[in-house]
Amino acid sequence: MASYQKVKGTQDFFGLHSKKLRLLEANIKKTAESFGFQEMKTPIIEHTEVFTRSVGDDSDIVSKEMYTFEDRGHRSITLRPEGTAPVVRAYIENKLYGNGNSISKYYYVGPMFRYERPQAGRYREFHQFGVEAIGHGSPLLDCDVIISAYRLFQKLGISHITLKINSIGDFESRSYYRNALEVYFKEQLEGLCGDCHRRYEKNPMRILDCKVDKENPILKNAPKIKDYLNEASREYFSEVCKILDRFQIKYVVDEGLVRGLDYYTDTVFEYIMESDDELNGLAICAGGKYGGLVHELGGPDLPGIGYAFGLDRIISILDTQNKWGTIDTSIDAFVIGLDPESKLMALEVANECRDAGLIVELDYRSTILKTQFKTSEAFNPKYFIIIGEEERESRMITIKNSQNKTQERIAMSMCASWIKENR
């Protein structure tokens, strides 16, 4: 008989792992909602062009990492590799910009797909949480978005992270910078990878995002964007820094932090992990302002800002930093029936308790007390409800505390409310 394994780079979530993902999502959603972000759910599949137009067709994501296929109607479809483009597509398609005077704030959470080499903290199916604030651009909004990520990490109890920020300037500053890079890289092309040669032709700024040449001194010595910022961009960035200072958010200005895509403008940022294991230096959150993306995808000329972070990495970090606290994996009650008729009554009692909001399990196979206690071990119940002939006839059940082993007899009809009061 054939036996199958999961696709490389994917994960099965069950037991405690799945509980952690659910807990994390619930915590994050709560904080995001307190910042005014509302949930947006977009499809997992999109027309491929949504990503080629936005992420850029010579980016690593588009050129090497997308799961793209032709559907039966001969359309090119892609499993989403990231969440910003789908949210912006939905924002435009549903005309959520209204009259153009409002700010729309969304968060999303769900699986993303990239054909990357699986390694620590890197999967082919991974889970991202992200926010997008679209329709306005100001240092105040940028900082509120950056702070929301900071607060999220703080609320999760994650420590040892560094915020790196930079400005990549407005469209004018970027065009000065692009010219400077063109001149600089023209002389240095020999020393760069094949992909960078192509990037040079399309947009030399993308060379700065190259993973292969990351440590190459040619990249390290390249002109820095800060020397090409115009007055407006310099002021914008200095305002962002001032606001972060005012809120005592520690940051490092990283002049090498860029987003090579044309639609990114002004503020870019990352939160980086500091630790003494393999997670050290890993970006756990990346974001930036996009002055031109909404327009690029066919919408009005409105800016937005957003970020995304990987939940899988957050789970590893919370594991490493031992920050989960106690995760309650117990159930409220396990109902034991000591003969076939009592088993039916056990099911009745279980369902009454479930209706009252309790988590209740039972053994479907056995009427033997010892066997049922054995079965219950996998569920870690707070209480046992025991029903035999005598309980059935008197409609008084025996309820036993699994910790201190004390026992009480109570009316069957009071069972759910008694457990609720005493759990």
From the list 67-75, 116-124, 201-209, 235-243, the region that binds ligand AMP by CB under 6 A is: 116-124
List, in order, residues 6 or more apart from 130 with CB less than 8 Å away: 83, 84, 87, 107, 108, 109, 287, 306, 307, 308, 309
When the beta carbons of 129 and 383 are compared against ligand AMP, the nearer one is: 129
Among 123, 153, 177, 228, binds ligand AMP (CB under 6 A): 123
- Please, are residues 107 and 87 in contact by the beta-carbon 8 Å criterion? no
Among 122, 136, 160, 354, binds ligand AMP (CB under 6 A): 122
From the list 117-125, 134-142, 187-195, 355-363, the region that binds ligand AMP by CB under 6 A is: 117-125
- Inter-helix orientation angle 139-156/231-246, to 10°: 40
When the beta carbons of 55 and 243 are compared against ligand AMP, the nearer one is: 55
Please, is 347 exposed, middle or buried when counting C-beta atoms within 10 Å of its C-beta (0-12, 13-18, 19+)? middle
Q: How far is the CB of 293 from ligand AMP (least distance, A)?
A: 14
When the beta carbons of 123 and 237 are compared against ligand AMP, the nearer one is: 123
When the beta carbons of 55 and 302 are compared against ligand AMP, the nearer one is: 55
Encoded one letter per residue, x for contact with ligand AMP by CB under 6 A and - for no contact, window 257-286 reads --------------------------xxxx
- Please, are residues 148 and 31 in contact by the beta-carbon 8 Å criterion? yes
When the beta carbons of 25 and 172 are compared against ligand AMP, the nearer one is: 25
Q: How far is the CB of 116 from ligand AMP (least distance, A)?
A: 5
When the beta carbons of 292 and 306 are compared against ligand AMP, the nearer one is: 306
When the beta carbons of 129 and 228 are compared against ligand AMP, the nearer one is: 129
- Please, are residues 87 and 106 in contact by the beta-carbon 8 Å criterion? yes
Among 309, 334, 383, 384, binds ligand AMP (CB under 6 A): 309
List, in order, residues 6 or more apart from 1 with CB less than 8 Å away: none
List, in order, residues 6 or more apart from 46 with CB less than 8 Å away: 77, 78, 80, 85, 86, 89
Residue type, 56: G
Binding flag, residue 158, ligand AMP (CB under 6 A): no
Among 82, 142, 209, 262, binds ligand AMP (CB under 6 A): 82
- Please, are residues 369 and 398 in contact by the beta-carbon 8 Å criterion? no
When the beta carbons of 85 and 302 are compared against ligand AMP, the nearer one is: 85
Q: How far is the CB of 401 from ligand AMP (least distance, A)?
A: 43
From the list 15-23, 154-162, 303-311, 411-419, the region that binds ligand AMP by CB under 6 A is: 303-311
When the beta carbons of 228 and 269 are compared against ligand AMP, the nearer one is: 269
Q: How far is the CB of 316 from ligand AMP (least distance, A)?
A: 10
Report residue 397 as tokens.
Answer: 């059940």
Number of residues that bind ligand AMP (CB under 6 A): 17
Among 20, 53, 89, 114, binds ligand AMP (CB under 6 A): 114
Residue type, 108: Y
When the beta carbons of 225 and 311 are compared against ligand AMP, the nearer one is: 311
- Please, are residues 402 and 382 in contact by the beta-carbon 8 Å criterion? yes
Among 313, 343, 382, 400, binds ligand AMP (CB under 6 A): 313
Q: How far is the CB of 312 from ligand AMP (least distance, A)?
A: 5
Positions touching ligand AMP (CB under 6 A) are 82, 114, 116, 121-123, 126, 128, 283-286, 308-310, 312-313
